[in-house]
Amino acid sequence: MGFGSGAGHPRGDRLQSLRRLPRTLPKLGLVLLWGSALVLAGCNGTDAPPPDATLSPDPAALVSTPLPNPGPLQLQVIRGTEAEGNLVASTLILGATEAILVDAQAKPSQAQGVIQALQASGKTLKAIWITHGHADHYFGLTAIVAAFPDVPIYTTPAIAAEIQTRTPAFLQVFQQNFPEEQVTAPPLPMAYSDPTLTIDGETVEIIPLTQGDTPHQAPLHIPSLSTVIAGDVVYGDVHLYLREALNPEGRQAWLASLDELAALNPQQIIPGHASPTYQAPGLEPLEQTRQYLLEFDRAVAESATLEEARSALMTRYPNYRYPFLLDSALKTLYPEDAAPDPSQDFPESAPEDSPEDSPEDLAPDL
């Protein structure tokens, strides 16, 4: 999940949003979606969590779900809270003696739940894998590395470069909005080029993909468990973050990524974000994500206005979490329909985006 920009919309629109954000919405009206930036919950005033939810991190509130997997490896999913944890998954792959952690939560305070689960497992943390370069998946590294100082952190070379580029801007947002977290720059993942990881002799395959909710994603496939840890290529009952796949080509590329995961024919898929009650067997999470992308395509193609498109998608997905993610995408696609902000004073004639946003282009979007 994140907040960047896609092709084909005016840079001025997002710069205006940035400019006016600190002055027009109180901090407590925000929820931080760590994908890449501040996203306004309650852009329409209805979707924000209780105001104090962002100020009282409670590691015990992390949802921990042991998954019933026979065989040499076990999985444990630890999911951030709905109010402040973005429902983001951290997954422990547990072998007889070793553990690999996949994704590290957003806030260091939220990562405490991951640390507790690792300590309770009694396993040796062998490595941490980061699935993509959105901050909600790696800013908790600060706390995890403090507890496990020697553990190597890996991701693909493309994602490592992206994280290096984006981290300074993420850090600025973090420090400005959550000073109580006292966050310093998290350790950066090392570029890992091998096609697999191993844990207690078992193989974990790395599946580099070219589009999910950000252009580079690296899910893991565990053949012995017939499981894919999907990162933000697959969501579960949560509106997709589409700001980095706003044009049809981006969504086609995301669909192609889903095809690649489907070809693995996993019996279990762990979405990067999912509602607390989400359960779907086999390929269903993947198919639901595919359907959402197609429905979004159709709604945008058939709708003349933002409200028309929003209505079509909210009717189709009335119970999906975080509707403001949908609003965020639609406001960019229908800038003429987005509610004007009387306080914004940024010039309307800002330069246009390039057709493809680079990570460097996205970073200042915070």
Q: Which residues bind Zn ion (CB under 5 A)?
A: 1, 35, 134, 136, 232
Shortest Å distance, C-beta 213 to Zn ion: 7
Q: Smallest distance from the beta carbon of 302 to Zn ion, in angstroms? A: 28
Tokens encoding 158: 């493309």
> Given the complex with Zn ion, which of 123 and 243 has the nearer CB atom?
243
Nearer to Zn ion, 243 or 310 (CB): 243
Quote the least distance from Cβ 236 to Zn ion, whole Å: 12
Q: How far is it, in rounded angstroms, from Cα 210 to Cα 233? A: 10
The secondary structure element, H or E, covering residue 22 is helix 11-24
d(CA 135, CA 320): 22
CB of 2 to Zn ion, least distance (A): 6
Q: How far is the CB of 68 from Zn ion (least distance, A)?
A: 25
In sequence order, which residues have a C-beta less than 8 Å from that of residue 70 and are 6 or more positions away?
A: none
- What distance in Å separates the CA atoms of residue 326 and residue 329, rounded to the nearest whole number? 5
Unique residue bearing structure tokens 């609003």: 327
* Closer Cβ to Zn ion, 202 or 232, answer by number: 232
Please say whether the beta carbons of 332 and 4 come within 8 A: no
Which parts of 228-322 fold into alpha helices (H)? 248-263, 284-302, 306-316
Tokens standing for residue 333: 């696609």
Retrieve residue 137's tokens: 């998946």
CB of 133 to Zn ion, least distance (A): 10
Is the Cβ of residue 1 or residue 258 nearer to Zn ion in the bound state? Answer: 1
Q: How far is the C-alpha of 32 from the C-alpha of 104, rounded, in Å?
A: 16
The CB-nearest residue to Zn ion is 1
Closer residue to Zn ion in complex, CB, 178/334? 178
Q: Which is nearer to Zn ion, 35 or 85 (CB)?
A: 35
